[in-house]
Amino acid sequence: MPKPKTIPSVDANAADYWPSVRRKAKLNNALRLADERFDSIQISAIYERWVDDVSSMVRSVAIQCQILDSDDYLEFRKMASETFGLPELRTCEQVVKAEAYEAVQDAHASLYGDSMG
């Protein structure tokens, strides 16, 4: 005979209940907005540049949705990483930008030589 499923009880009067509900709602709403914007990002011939564009969009959405707490922001980037299948979003933003810049420089050098003028 299967065990009956029990529904966990939730205390809506607990001090941390409503802040956690608001936090989850804010993160989910931001992820929905990021998902809508994801398809509008122009695909670049340089993968790292495209990842940087996605990373910038994620940051923009976080600012727009007022995800200001650093832990919440890291959680949002993790959620975006899983949603978009981009583990690079879990990396520091400066590293993503640096890798994109280096990839663009390398592509430019391979096409036009080492001069960037």
Please write the tens of the pLDDT for every residue from 44-70: 889 999 999 999 999 999 999 999 999
Least confident span in 8-17, 28-37, 85-94: 8-17
The structural domain count of the chain equals 1
Kindly list the distances between the CA atom of residue 84 and the CA atoms of 10, 77, 110, 113, in Å, as whole numbers in the listed order. 32, 10, 30, 34
H or E stretch at 34: helix 17-38
Q: Is residue 2 part of a domain?
A: no
Q: Is residue 12 part of a domain?
A: no
* pLDDT at residue 8, as a whole number: 73
Inform me whether the pLDDT recorded for 9 exceeds 90: no
Confidence of residue 115 (pLDDT cuts 50, 70, 90): low
Q: What's 69's DSSP letter?
A: S
Measured from the Cβ of residue 79, the count of other Cβ atoms closer than 10 Å reads 17
Q: What's 8's DSSP letter?
A: P
Inform me whether the pLDDT recorded for 116 exceeds 80: no
Confidence of residue 5 (pLDDT cuts 50, 70, 90): confident
Q: Which residue range(s) make up the domain with 24?
A: 18-112
Q: Is residue 56 part of a domain?
A: yes
Name the token pair of 83: 């949603």
Across the range 36-43, mean pLDDT stands at 92
Cβ proximity of 104 and 50 under 8 Å: no
Q: Is residue 3 part of a domain?
A: no
Inform me whether the pLDDT recorded for 99 exceeds 70: yes
